[in-house]
Amino acid sequence: MRNTTTTITKTVKLAAELRPSILRLSRHLRREAIRGGSSSLDAQLLGTLREEPGLGVSELAEMEQMSRPAMSAHVKRLMTLGYVQREIAKGDVDRRRIGLTVTRTGTQYLRNVNERRADWLADRLAELGSEDRTALDRAAKSLRLILESSAEPV
């Protein structure tokens, strides 16, 4: 029992120590999307649509845990910017179903955001020593496992 209590205590302490750094890192990476003239949510939505083209507004709203009217407003804005277009789903029996796809302009915007984010992070990583970069490489694998094993909070 003592060993389990110690492990739980250490795990909670590690979580409390990691959380502020992860949040600040996330904030810095979101700012790189904003520098491109759009919101980080725009980049997030474009990334989702790039991975799953043909999603409808309702499906996208559900995935992102947003209301349909709010998602509809975001999609309209992305369409106005020329980043997203509506398309009849290919091979779909219901020809009335309209899905969303990322345009070339949207793909280029997303590529630029991702490059800015990667450049910003690479600059910071270059300032670290070899041991710290190796530790972060191991941590990145562990963080991926955490993300893959957990469902999104409701």
Segments making up each domain of the chain, as ranges? 24-149
- The pLDDT value recorded for residue 90 is 63
Please indicate whether residue 98 or residue 84 has the higher confidence score (pLDDT).
Answer: 84
Rounded CA separation 77/106 (Å): 12
In the CATH scheme, what is the code of domain 24-149?
1.10.10.10
- The pLDDT value recorded for residue 154 is 41
pLDDT tens-place string over residues 45-62: 999 999 999 999 999 999
Mean pLDDT across the stretch 60-78? 94
pLDDT tens-place string over residues 10-58: 889 988 998 999 999 888 888 877 876 778 888 999 999 999 999 999 9
